[in-house]
Amino acid sequence: MRHPYRLLIVVLALLGVCAAQEEVTLNALFMQQAAYSNDDIRNMTAEFEEQHPGVTVNLEFVSYEALHNKIVTAAAAGRGGYDIVLFDVIWPAEFAEYGILVDLTERISQETVDAVVPGAWTTVMSEGRYYGMPWILDTEYLFYNRAMLAEAGYDAPPATWSELLEQARTLKENGTVAYPIVWSWAQAEAMVCDYTTLLSAYDGAFFEDGEAAFQVDGGLRALQFMTSSLEEGLSNPASTESLEEDVRRIFSSGEAAFALNWTYMYNLANDPAESQVAGQVGVAPAPGIEGVSELSAMNGSMGLGVTTNSEHPDLSFAYVEYLTSRPVQERYARLSLPIWEASYDEPAVVEGQEDLVNAAKQALGAMYPRPLMVQYPEFSTILQSNVHSALLGRATPAEALQETALQVRQRDLR
């Protein structure tokens, strides 16, 4: 061979390039239609991959019910699972207890902490440590049909729940709509979210000093509000079988004047291709109770975390940082509002959804959390079952909540 050294150098150079550009595959688990659409997430991911050549991110989308189970079973299985997961605000306590997510507190600068909307951090916190970055900041808003309200002579959304009932009664009497209010009260977590919103309005509490407190005062009154609105015929009976998408469909087809739902519904309900009431949809923070609260809100946010089983924690965190970065969040602000405080004054974010941003500014600061328990899933299941019994008239609100409290004590849930 004439120039062996030259050939050797070329080979080494090639090997060097290959080593530098090692192929890495990350596995990320998301939820179907978790605020952002699947396509939104795919686009964000494609952008990240462009910026990190050699890195591929496999995306998986599962239903909400499957999300918790997949995260947990993958964690139990060890390596080869997911590197990045989307998690619900109700799980950090459990995940932290069992070491499923990496403690990211050290990697998050104080600057970041200050720049994010204050209420958002509870989404990823457990015992003062951060186990992810908040990503989808969400609460349940009151959606109302402006046209229907105007027809009945109301030019502003109700500020209190009793006002809402009044307006609903008028609409029902006028024959505008058979069942003015629609809720997501199927036996699922969505029902607990509705209940929590009302509980926060009545200034109730889930637990006090480790003891159940939801079966009295505000907690009890919240459930009584729910059952009496059904008895009075103001709430759609189909609510007890409905989830968020059903609520959106019923509201969007003009069969309801009021609905509690997440951020994502706003632009879809105003989209003529998706809704028959496009252009008539107003949004406001959920009402309060006279003399007790100005408005009500609950924390329905979700965060992105890195799993402890991940073999590429740094790269995974980079992915999380990218998705939660301000530019990306502001670009995709149609179905989910950003976590950055400053974004709420950005024209690009506000334009076209002033009402929503306004409502968000008020509501996000007042988000009330569901119990921060390690065994939250079990608590929620018991609560759901009993609340559903009350909603179906099989138990009184007091009985249902007392039964829940009893089972919580018996099972010693923490």
Listed residue (318, 290, 273, 407) closest to 28, CA to CA: 318
Residue 291, phi then psi, degrees to nearest 5: 75, 0
Minimum CB separation from other proteins for residue 327, in Å?
Answer: 27
25 interacts with other proteins by CB under 8 A: no
The smaller minimum CB distance to other proteins, of residues 11 and 77, is found at: 77
SS3 220: helix
The CA-to-CA distance between both ends of the chain, in Å, stands at: 74
Nearer Cβ to other proteins, position 313 or 377?
377
Q: What are phi and psi of 5, to 5 degrees?
A: -65, -35
The number of angstroms, rounded, from the C-alpha of 115 to the middle of its chain's C-alpha atoms is: 20
Q: Is residue 166 part of the contact set for other proteins (CB under 8 A)?
A: no
With contacts defined by CB under 8 A, name the span among 18-26, 111-119, 185-193, 361-369 that binds other proteins: 185-193
Confirm if 388 and 223 have CB atoms less than 8 A apart: no
Name the CA radius of gyration of the chain, rounded: 24
Out of 21, 25, 56, 63, the only residue in the binding site for other proteins (CB under 8 A) is 63
Q: What is the DSSP string of 140-157?
A: -EEEEEHHHHHHTT--S-
Q: Which of 221, 334, 370, 388 binds other proteins (CB under 8 A)?
A: 388
- Is 203 near other proteins (CB under 8 A)? no
Residue from 13, 15, 18, 76 binding other proteins (CB under 8 A): 76
By the rule CB under 8 A, 43 interacts with other proteins: no
Residue positions counted in the chain: 414
Give the sign of the dihedral formed by CA 87, CA 368, CA 110, CA 326: positive
Smallest separation (angstroms) from other proteins to the CB of 141: 20
User: Least separation, in Å, of the C-beta of 389 and other proteins?
Assistant: 4
Select from 260, 252, 265, 258 the least CA-distant residue to 197.
260
Q: Which is nearer to other proteins, 49 or 97 (CB)?
A: 97
As a whole number of angstroms, the distance between CA 386 and CA 399 comes to 9
Of the residues 55, 201, 250, 283, which one makes contact with other proteins according to CB under 8 A: 250
Q: Where does this chain touch other proteins (CB under 8 A) — which range of 17-25, 70-78, 114-122, 282-290?
A: 70-78
Mark residue 211 as left, alpha or beta (left: phi above 0; alpha: psi -120 to 50; beta: remaining): beta
User: What tokens appear for 72 in the block?
Assistant: 């947990």
Stretch that binds other proteins, among 26-34, 117-125, 169-177, 258-266 (CB under 8 A): 26-34
Could you say whether residue 272 binds other proteins (CB under 8 A)?
no
Residues 249 and 101: their CA atoms lie apart, in Å, by: 36
Among 24, 147, 205, 238, binds other proteins (CB under 8 A): 238
CA dist., res. 125 & res. 113, Å (int): 12
Report the C-alpha gap between 94 and 96 in whole angstroms. 5
Residue 370 Cβ vs other proteins, minimum distance, rounded to whole Å: 16
The answer to the question of residue 331 lying near other proteins (CB under 8 A) is no
Count the Cβ atoms, other than its own, within 10 Å of residue 275. Answer: 21
Using rule CB under 8 A, residue 146 touches other proteins: no
Considering the rule CB under 8 A, would residue 311 count as an interface residue with other proteins? no
Q: Report the residue number, 224 or 385, with the smaller CB distance to other proteins.
A: 385
72 lies in the site for other proteins, by CB under 8 A: yes
Of 64, 79, 2, which Cα lies nearest the Cα of 33? Answer: 64
Question: What x/- string results for residues 93 through 122 when contact with other proteins is judged by CB under 8 A?
Answer: ----xxxx----------------------
Q: Is 237 in the site for other proteins (CB under 8 A)?
A: yes
Contact flag: residue 70 with other proteins (CB under 8 A): yes
295 is a site residue for other proteins (CB under 8 A): no
**Contact with other proteins (CB under 8 A): which of 21, 25, 73, 174?**
73
* Strand duo 258-261 + 141-145: pairing: antiparallel
Which residue ranges make up the site for other proteins (CB under 8 A)? Answer: 29, 32-33, 58, 60, 62-66, 68-70, 72-73, 75-78, 80-81, 97-100, 186-188, 237-238, 240-241, 243, 245-246, 248-250, 253, 375, 377-378, 381, 385, 388-389, 392, 394, 407
